[in-house]
Structure 1
Amino acid sequence: MAGCSTDTDTSSAGGGGDFDFTAATPAGAVIPAESRQTAPAYAGELLDGTDFTSASVAGDIVVLNFWGSWCAPCRVESPEFQTVSADVAEAGVAFLGVAVRDQRQLAQAFVTDFAITYPSLFDPSGEVALAFRGFPANVVPTTILIDRDNRVAGVYVSAVTEEDLRAILQQLLEEAPPTTPTPSAPDD
């Protein structure tokens, strides 16, 4: 695995939803729709101090990227994620960073230095990662892709290239939108 890691114990990973991490997704690939598991709910405080809940991105494709200001691969990946984020912002794709094992001031400087405009949760203890049962919270960078139906479509436990990210998102964007009940017409 090409990433930054620490000796953080992941054995206490609890969480909600049906997702239970078993293995990383190959680069540039997505989990087949019929094999996807429901993503857990997650919430926290953004770097700007506002509250965030995963319900606010319901129906969107979500790129959940775990990073640290101290992580060299994150310094390569983050500007590429920003470029892709700007390109797909109007297509129903939400990017959310998760600053882990970091200090708020250093995380904010990282966001400023790399001109990152999408929000980042401040999660120094890794609670968001722990919501994804069995997820390897000690590997940074890691990216989790969540489809429009709130199912985990990919887990990448190393830096993701811009080319791979664009290919993955294109596959997810081409999938049918989430199924929502159609309101019935009133009887005449």
Structure 2
Amino acid sequence: MLAASGAALTLALAACTSKDPLAQQANAGDNKNYIAGDGSVTEYAAAVRTAPVDFTGKLFDGATVDAANFPGGVTILNFWYAACAPCRLEAPDLQALYTEFSAQGVKFYGVNVRDEKATAEAFERNFKLTYPSIIDKDGGVLLALSKVVPPQAVPTTLVLDKQGRVSARILGTAEKGTLKALITSALAEQ
């Protein structure tokens, strides 16, 4: 009797989700009801940049990241989550840029705004990402950065200068050549 009840419940739930428009939309991956960035790039002149970013966060491995340690080098923050189609699109380019620039001291951090640890780690394995990600399901990092420059969409990529200030923001998919130029520019600053 218990097995029959469980089977009936499974069938009922499957029937509900197959007709659920939100589930169908999520499976379609067409980004409806999704605030996608348009790929616009904003660069901030050194003279008008705000104070260094200020936040702490936990990485998926349990380590703590403190933005107070960012000054001295260029840092890239990429806001993402696993089901975000543009995040999937840009992931290989972010990894390639991390590989290219890490020897020059450029730090990369993903800022995962939605996923549980297992989902985020599966995404990182799938795309062979080797830079760490901050858990931000509570929105603490997002809120702290909104005081400086609002990310406004996922994905958003921020380039922090050697003083820990936002020097550039990309809303939407970070094109590899564009992000490379922004990193190179930030590295060249005194």
TM-score tier after normalising by the smaller chain length = 0.7 to 0.9
Q: What corresponds to 2:96 in structure 1?
A: 83
SS across alignment from 1:85: helix
Q: Does 1:121 align with 2:113?
A: no
Partners of 1:41 and 1:117 lie apart in 2 by 24
> Which runs of structure 2 are paired with 1:99-118 in the superposition (5 Å)?
99-118=112-131
What is the CA-CA distance between 1:134 and the residue it aligns to? 6.9
Q: Which runs of 5+ in 1 are unaligned?
A: 8-23, 177-188
Moved over 4 A (4+): 3-7, 134-138
Q: What corresponds to 2:6 in structure 1?
A: none
SS across alignment from 2:185: helix
Q: Contact 2:53 / 2:148 at 8 angstroms: preserved in 1?
A: no
Partners of 2:89 and 2:173 lie apart in 1 by 8
What is the CA-CA distance between 1:26 and the residue it aligns to? 4.4
Q: What corresponds to 1:155 in structure 2?
A: 169
Task: Using structure 1 for the length normalisation, give the TM-score.
Answer: 0.76
> Which one has more relative contact order, counting CA pairs under 8 Å at least 6 apart?
1
SS across alignment from 1:38: coil
What is the CA-CA distance between 1:110 and the residue it aligns to? 0.5
SS across alignment from 1:156: strand
Q: Does 1:97 align with 2:141?
A: no
Partners of 1:151 and 1:98 lie apart in 2 by 17
Q: What corresponds to 2:183 in structure 1?
A: 169
Paired residues, number? 157
Q: Which runs of 5+ in 2 are unaligned?
A: 1-30
Partners of 2:111 and 2:161 lie apart in 1 by 18
Q: Contact 2:39 / 2:174 at 8 angstroms: preserved in 1?
A: no
**Kindly, what percent of the aligned residue pairs are identical?**
34
Q: Contact 2:57 / 2:135 at 8 angstroms: preserved in 1?
A: yes
Task: Using structure 2 for the length normalisation, give the TM-score.
Answer: 0.75
Name the Cα RMSD after superposition: 2.3
Letter in 2 for 1:167: A
Q: What corresponds to 2:159 in structure 1?
A: 145
Q: What corresponds to 1:17 in structure 2?
A: none
Partners of 2:181 and 2:125 lie apart in 1 by 27
